Amino acid sequence: MSQLRRDPITGRWIIINTEKSVAPDKFDYVERPVKKGAKGCPFCPGNERMTPPEIIAHRRVGESNSPGWWIRVVPNKYPALEIEGELAKEGIGVFDKINGIGAHEVIIDSPDHFTELSDVDDKQAEEVIWAYLGRSIDLRRDKRFKYILVFRNYGMAAGASLEHPHSQLIALPIVPKRVNEEIKSSSEYFEYKERCVFCDLLRQEMEDKERIICENKHFFCFAPFVSRFPYEMWIIPKKHSSDFSLLEKEEVRPLGVILRDALHKLKVALNDPPYNFIIHTSPINGHEREDYHWHIEIMPKLVQVAGFEWGSGFYINPVAPEEVSKNLFGIE
């Protein structure tokens, strides 16, 4: 018999197959990311003219917008939001609207077209986190922005339009609904118990030891008890911290390494599936919440969200998170 499990953070219920989870090799129908080649790739060294001028770059040699870099950040050529302009809020009867003001940037994770974040060395993994952190700190100075979203789409099935390894950052003038739901629930939990719900969840996962994927001194990676998707994983700081941009220097490399390791385990166990990962963090510029706890959610694209899920709000997960830990824990 399957189980219904309730998420203590959002209150959402999930249906989990606990009796006979789908084996890793049974997801053979998933559309795998394919590297067709680097020719004409706008993110490869030597093609810097094909992107908007870089915002920042971590480079060994050379001038701006030239080869020699190992991390490069550029504006998105087709941005969802524009940096220039005023918000100009307006009400139209029951409707509200504001101008599409924000920032939309691309973090090119590596100069190597064929080396994914799952396979980079420790130094490159660290540099990716430094790029996320640097851009988050810089953009929060713009008082128009209330939230900074860092995410990665890997593979066409996960929404990636270019195959060169890259992540994205969008600075928003509003706090996303998904984030507000987590903040509201964590705030209510804190008011009732005077403790962070994420810290309590982390303590229980560390005590249960059933869903651990990997860990280091500063971070813990696990398959959540109430996983929405097969092989969903979370990476969370062991020390309470509400805001990703408050990451300390000694935590940067450990975060890059555990993120790389988690993605590598997915690649090995599931034959390189498409995935999304998202950094969930506190809002900014007067909307900060100290009772929140930032974390990274990794979601492989192994199943389709269909009518039942859209109609009910329930997710059906065919793989118990306890099985995920067993299948991934020993992979190096």
CATH of the domain at 212: 3.30.428.10
| Per-residue pLDDT at 41 | 94
Which residue is associated with the tokens 């003038």? Answer: 173
What domain range is 113 assigned to? 3-328
Largest CA distance in the chain: 62
**Mean pLDDT across 58-87:** 90
Q: What is the pLDDT of residues 78-103, one digit of tens each?
A: 988 888 878 877 788 888 888 888 99
Q: What is the pLDDT of residues 229-247, one digit of tens each?
A: 999 999 999 999 999 999 9
Pairing label, strands 233-237, 295-300: antiparallel
Q: What is the pLDDT of residues 280-306, one digit of tens each?
A: 999 998 888 899 999 999 999 998 877
- CA dist 19 and 256 (Å) reads 35
Share of the chain above pLDDT 70, in %: 100
pLDDT band at residue 269, thresholds of 50, 70 and 90?
Answer: very high
Is pLDDT at 332 greater than 80 in this prediction?
no
- CA dist 27 and 109 (Å) reads 27
Assign 167 to helix, strand or coil. Answer: strand
Is pLDDT at 109 greater than 90 in this prediction?
yes
The better pLDDT of the pair 61, 197 is held by: 197
b/e per residue, 203-221, with b = 16+ CB within 10 A?
eebeeeeebbbbbeebbbb
Of the segments 84-93, 217-226, 321-330, which one has the largest average pLDDT value? Answer: 217-226
Number of domains the chain is built from:
1
Which residues are paired to 97 by β-bridges?
90
22, 318 contact by CB (below 8 A): yes
pLDDT band at residue 329, thresholds of 50, 70 and 90?
Answer: confident
Is pLDDT at 257 greater than 90 in this prediction?
yes
3-state helix, strand, coil in the chain (%, to 5): 30, 25, 50
Q: What is the pLDDT of residues 35-55, one digit of tens each?
A: 887 789 999 999 999 999 999
What amino acid positions are annotated as catalytic residues? Answer: 166
Mean pLDDT lowest among 156-165, 172-181, 186-195, 308-317: 308-317
Is pLDDT at 34 greater than 80 in this prediction?
no
pLDDT band at residue 274, thresholds of 50, 70 and 90?
Answer: very high
